[in-house]
Amino acid sequence: MAENDAAGDVEAKAAAIEAGRVLFAQECEFVMGVRTEADLPQAELPEVAFAGRSNVGKSSLLNALTNRRTLARTSNTPGRTREVNFFRLGGRLMLVDLPGYGYARAGKEEIERWNKLIEDYLRGRSNLRRVCLLIDARRGIGAPDRKVMELLDQAAVVYQIVLTKVDKEKAGALARIEQTAAGEIARHGAAYPEILATSAAKKQGLEEVRAAVAALAEEASGPFLTDGAHPSESKDH
Ligand SMILES: Nc1nc2c(ncn2[C@@H]2O[C@H](COP(=O)(O)OP(=O)(O)OP(=O)(O)O)[C@@H](O)[C@H]2O)c(=O)[nH]1
Ligand SMILES: [Mg+2]
């Protein structure tokens, strides 16, 4: 029996990876960049957002996932993404690149504006299916990440920890960070239990992220894809 189960798991995983590959092979187009809550577009498709500290690698991961070098703007300088950027993937799903939080060198007003925009977006988006919460594999979960986790717990928005830049960390240290992160998220109601480990630079772990996103696109064949008129009714996570 256990053998059958294991074979079933392998098959299911392969199918999920294939669904991810197919979804991300489709056209991905920039829709718009938004600087204030008032400008956020109507809930048109299910959304998956990429959140995390400034410079953690959100835009790089999006580019790697979609196999495009310059879809989302990346930079060595923290604070590159200054807007909430929407990318439509295969007409099925919206990928959302958020500005980073915790960037200390911007002006005070600008930091406040970004933080408010991120919070407004994360709290008030009824079609937000999941937040990929990116954590630098060398740093682990830090204080600013915990604030966002609390916000998402309160808003009942499911979030999944995605470690970034794993190419910069040794396997042993990486395993410890993963373990610590797993222990921490176990105490959070809205955290998805599976932690993903990625490197945009070395293209590691991308298939698993694509598979996770594709599973959400499949789940969400409800109001957004039929009439798009009742986003509040589909908040079922
Ligand atoms: N070694 C390594 N470097 C990476 C990886 N992903 C991103 N980087 C580098 O990290 C820096 C920041 O990447 P971005 O993708 O711009 O980070 P971001 O989170 O979008 O940053 P903000 O938009 O400023 O919040 C860049 O210099 C990237 O080249 C990775 O997987 N491995
Ligand atoms: Mg960015």
Distance CA 40, CA 30 (A): 14
- The arithmetic mean of pLDDT across residues 94-100, rounded, is 93
Sheet holding 196-197, edge to edge: 28-34, 84-89, 93-97, 47-52, 128-136, 159-164, 196-197
Q: Which residue's CA is minimally distant from atom 23 of ligand 1? A: 81
pLDDT mean over 51-68: 93
Ligand 1 centre distance from Cα of residue 53 (Å): 10
149 pLDDT band, cuts 50/70/90, is: very high
Measured from the CB, is residue 85 less than 6 Å from ligand 1?
no
Total number of domains constituting the chain:
1
Least confident residue range of 4-18, 51-65, 217-231: 217-231
Classify residue 234: in a domain, yes or no: no
Pocket test for ligand 1, best of 55, 101, 135, 199 (most atoms within 8 A of CB): 55
Does any domain span residue 156? yes
Q: Which pair of structure tokens corresponds to residue 33?
A: 């960049």
**228 within a domain of the structure (yes/no):** no
pLDDT at 227 over 50: no
Q: Is 75 a member of any domain?
A: yes
- CATH code for the domain in which residue 68 is found: 3.40.50.300
When the pLDDT of each residue in the chain is averaged and rounded to a whole number, the result is: 87
63 C-beta closer than 6 A to ligand 1 = no
In total, the chain counts a number of residues equal to 237
Could you report the per-residue pLDDT of 107-145, keeping only the tens digit for each? 788 888 888 899 999 998 999 999 999 999 999 999 999
pLDDT for 6 equals 82
161 occurs within a structural domain: yes
Q: What is the value of pTM for the model shown?
A: 0.89
Q: Is the pLDDT of residue 8 over 50?
A: yes
Query: Which one of 63, 75, 202 would you pick to mutate in the ligand 1 pocket, going by the greatest count of ligand atoms within 8 A of its CB?
Result: 75
